[in-house]
């Protein structure tokens, strides 16, 4: 058997949603080393699990000998992508954008091997922020039909409430990214989420019109649950890759608690385990499926954080299920001992620890029996937490529902 074709590998694992020219792209992968790119606009201070899928695809391709370009959107981020939006994105300062780009680059280094011949990390600020507007309109804008652009999926939702001229330019800027990278780095393929299809087609068409050359686009399936809803959200927001926004333990627990029906898909998209092994691991049910979820959570946490983090989170998770909680890997908040001298309202504490969004939500949770302190259920919404509720190590274990834990550590 020869080396598997990169297109076939991505398709077998379930990554591919749409492709501009499937047969031509498959042929390209078999004939040459392909330079490809994926863009990441710095809309937050950290990447999240939706981005992680794209890095998994890029790493899969890099391991098969192709060259990735991680493109940071220091230029496009100043405009904001309207795709899938019903409102305009918040305008960020240049300082915010540049800091977020720096954070993204540091996180990308965990997944992609950089070096001129192995992989590149570029920032479109270097060419977009320096553009001459009149020349850009003449040389690039000339190739775009407004009628065709307005028919694109990425603009439909925004048109209902009002599309700004700024947002209308986003597709042109992203398309120019592809042209620039084709001209300067020999880039032949753009990757993106399924919501980027219209923007990617714009880039493919621009290269064809401006250079008379064939390039390609490939979109990836979004991470969804078996019921079709989007995966990667928690009560507290996105599943972040930054340990300061989501601890390795919380990250591990998210994957440890996915539905049985989603385990096989998550293994295929978010780990490098061979498919035969994945199918064998996930063929089980009952207690054996819990073991499969542990393995899933371990593998993903190891990739995003480290093997040590994965082992620590797994040990803490097992301790929780056995009732022997240890501090260290669990989410923990340090609070002054004096705050509990006269009693600290349980409802306010739950809100302050961000275990609930509001006091009223906390009240409902307590009265419905969803809160335990030191494994003892509390149903009194007027309960006051005192220092006497803490154990000998000055820690208080709070459990919300069956699977969410938080430790409060007293400090003098």
- C-alpha distances (whole Å) from 160 to each of 84, 172, 187, 190, 202 are 12, 21, 35, 29, 22
Give the integer Cα–Cα distance in Å for 88 and 157.
11
Other Cβ atoms less than 10 A from the Cβ of 304: the count is 27
* Per-domain boundaries in the chain: 6-220, 233-322, 332-410
Nearest residue to 332 via CA among 353, 303, 302: 353
Distance of CA 11 to the CA centre of its chain: 21
Tokens at residue 225, please?
A: 């649950």
Residue 253, burial from CB neighbour count under 10 angstroms (0-12, 13-18, 19+): buried
Contacts of 233 (CB under 8 A, 6+ apart): 239
Contacts of 158 (CB under 8 A, 6+ apart): 82, 85, 86, 88, 167
CATH of 6-220, one of 3.40.50.10090, 3.40.50.620, 3.30.420.40, 2.40.50.250: 3.40.50.620
- Compute the CA torsion angle 400, 401, 402, 406 (nearest 10 deg): -10
Encode the chain (412 residues) as per-residue pLDDT tens digits. 467 899 999 999 999 999 999 999 999 999 999 999 999 999 899 999 999 999 999 999 999 999 999 999 999 888 865 554 444 556 788 999 999 999 999 999 999 999 989 999 999 999 999 999 888 888 888 887 777 777 776 666 666 666 777 777 888 889 999 999 999 999 999 999 988 888 899 999 999 999 999 999 999 998 888 877 778 766 557 899 999 888 898 899 899 988 889 999 999 999 999 999 999 999 977 777 888 999 999 999 999 999 999 999 998 888 766 554 454 556 788 899 888 988 999 999 999 998 888 888 889 989 888 898 877 788 898 999 998 888 767 888 888 887 788 888 888 8
CA atoms within 13 A on the CB side of 264: 15
What's residue 87's pLDDT? 47
What's residue 86's pLDDT? 42
Give the 3-state secondary structure percentages of the chain, helix then strand then coil, rounded to 5: 50, 15, 35
Residues 341-376: pLDDT tens digits?
889 999 999 999 988 888 888 899 898 888 988 777
293 is in an annotated binding site: no
| pTM for the predicted model, two decimal places | 0.77
Per-residue burial over 272-289, b if 16 or more Cβ lie within 10 Å, else e, is ebeeeebeebbeeeeeee
The answer to whether the CB of 154 falls within 8 A of the CB of 195 is yes
Contacts of 151 (CB under 8 A, 6+ apart): none
174 is in an annotated binding site: yes
> What is the CATH topology of the domain spanning 233-322?
Tyrosyl-Transfer RNA Synthetase (1.10.240)
Residues 55-75: pLDDT tens digits?
999 999 999 999 999 999 999
β-pair type (371-373, 404-411): unpaired
Nearest residue to 49 via CA among 233, 281, 324, 259: 233
What's residue 322's pLDDT? 59
> What is the CATH topology of the domain spanning 332-410?
3.10.290
DSSP 410: E
The answer to whether the CB of 56 falls within 8 A of the CB of 270 is yes
Give the integer Cα–Cα distance in Å for 160 and 339.
50
Tokens at residue 280, please?
A: 């064998």
What's residue 38's pLDDT? 98
What's residue 390's pLDDT? 84
Give the integer Cα–Cα distance in Å for 226 and 155.
28
Output the furthest CA–CA distance in the chain (Å, rounded). Answer: 76
37 is in an annotated binding site: yes
What's residue 7's pLDDT? 97
- At residue 141, φ and ψ (nearest 5 deg) are -60, -25
- C-alpha distances (whole Å) from 327 to each of 306, 338, 391, 395, 407 are 19, 22, 12, 9, 8
Which secondary-structure segment (H or E) carries 343?
A: none
DSSP notation for 267-319: HHHH----HHHHHHHTT--THHHHHHHHHHHHHHHHHHT-HHHHHHHHHHHHH
368 is in an annotated binding site: no
């Amino acid at each position: 058997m020869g080396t598997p074709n990169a297109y076939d590998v991505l398709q077998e694992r379930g990554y591919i949603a749409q492709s501009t020219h499937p047969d031509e792209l498959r042929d390209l992968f078999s004939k040459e080393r392909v330079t490809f790119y994926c863009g990441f606009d710095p809309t937050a201070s950290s990447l999240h699990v939706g981005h992680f899928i794209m890095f998994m695809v890029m790493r899969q391709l890099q391991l098969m000998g192709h060259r990735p370009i991680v493109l940071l959107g220091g230029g496009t981020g100043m405009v904001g992508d309207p795709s899938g939006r019903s409102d305009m994105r918040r305008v960020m300062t240049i300082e915010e954008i540049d800091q977020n780009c720096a954070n993204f680059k540091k996180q990308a280094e965990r997944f992609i091997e950089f070096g001129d011949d192995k992989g590149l990390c570029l920032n479109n600020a270097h060419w977009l922020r320096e553009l001459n507007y009149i020349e850009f309109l003449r040389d690039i804008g000339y190739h775009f039909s407004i009628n065709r652009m307005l028919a694109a999926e990425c603009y439909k939702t925004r048109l209902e409430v009002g599309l700004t001229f700024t947002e209308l330019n986003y597709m042109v800027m992203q398309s120019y990214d592809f042209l620039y990278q084709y001209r300067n780095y020999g880039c032949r393929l753009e990757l993106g989420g399924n919501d980027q299809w219209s923007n990617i087609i714009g880039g493919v068409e621009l290269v064809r019109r401006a250079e008379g050359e064939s390039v390609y686009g490939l979109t990836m399936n979004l991470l969804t649950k078996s019921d079709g809803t989007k995966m990667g959200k928690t009560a507290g927001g996105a599943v972040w890759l930054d340990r300061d926004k989501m601890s390795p333990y919380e990250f591990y627990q998210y994957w440890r608690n996915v539905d049985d029906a989603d385990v096989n898909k998550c293994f295929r998209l978010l780990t490098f385990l061979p498919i035969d092994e994945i199918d064998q691991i996930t063929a089980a049910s009952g207690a054996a499926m819990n073991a499969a979820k542990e393995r899933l959570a371990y593998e993903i946490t190891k990739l995003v954080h480290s093997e040590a983090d994965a082992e620590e989170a797994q040990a803490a998770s097992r301790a929780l299920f056995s009732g022997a909680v240890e501090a260290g890997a669990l989410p923990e908040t340090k609070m002054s001992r004096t705050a509990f001298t006269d009693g600290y309202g349980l409802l306010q504490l739950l809100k302050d620890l961000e275990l609930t969004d509001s006091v009223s939500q906390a009240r409902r949770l307590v009265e419905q029996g969803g809160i335990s302190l030191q494994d003892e259920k509390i149903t009194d919404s007027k309960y006051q937490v005192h220092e006497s509720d803490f154990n000998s190590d000055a820690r208080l274990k709070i459990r919300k529902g069956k699977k969410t834990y938080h430790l409060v550590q007293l400090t003098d």
